[in-house]
Amino acid sequence: MISKNYFSGFSLENEEELFSEYIIKNDFTISGFSHGAIKAFEEVLNSNQRVDKLQLFSPAFFQTKDKKFKRMQLMFFKKDEMAYCNNFLNNITYPSNIDCTKYFKLGKYEELDELLNYEWSEEKLNALLLKGTKIEVFLGSKDKIIESLKAKEFFTKYATVYYIKDVGHILNK
């Protein structure tokens, strides 16, 4: 059974309102932001419940990054969690001036490790499509967290991709 309809991003909670202009709220739509996109995807993939639409907002997409990049991110987090998260909050809000501190919840090392090393599988994406679930991916052209053009290129085969001009990771101006 699917436990919820929205999954939060790394070091965030209750940020769903940031995506209110895009999000579809009903019993058959599941959404997730960044790390939460991974969680939402896996939840829908492994559920037998009807899900008509899966919305992935700026999905954590790091499979184009090398192992050194990923190790460095984890090392910086381990060295100073708060400094890492403050930098992260600044990067997700760019280029907007939205204050995301009200959504802040200190993330865990294991969550960061999972999102950095998660591999979006073409086989799993196809399996979800075969279940009848439509996938929407929302990406910002000025994203400082993920390489949104590479994510767009990858997801286009499996999803309707909305590539939004002049917005960053949280999809706001």
53-78 pLDDT per residue, tens: 999 999 999 999 999 999 999 999 99
Quick check: is 105 in a domain?
Answer: yes
Helices (H), the chain: 35-45, 67-79, 81-93, 109-117, 122-130, 148-155
pLDDT of residue 173: 86
Structure tokens at 35: 């790390």
Bridge partner list, 53 = 29, 134
- Residue 150's contacts (CB-CB under 8 Å, 6 or more residues apart) are 61, 64
Quick check: is 98 in a domain?
Answer: yes
Euclidean distance between CA atoms 38 and 60, whole angstroms: 7
Quick check: is 116 in a domain?
Answer: yes
Quick check: is 170 in a domain?
Answer: no
Pairing of strands 53-57, 6-7: unpaired
Domain count, the chain: 1
Query: Which domain covers residue 107, as residue numbers?
Result: 6-164
Residue range 108-154, pLDDT digits in tens: 999 999 999 999 999 999 999 999 999 999 999 999 999 999 999 99
pLDDT greater than 60 at residue 10: yes
Euclidean distance between CA atoms 162 and 104, whole angstroms: 26
Quick check: is 152 in a domain?
Answer: yes
Read off the CATH number of the domain in which 96 is found: 3.40.50.1820
Quick check: is 173 in a domain?
Answer: no
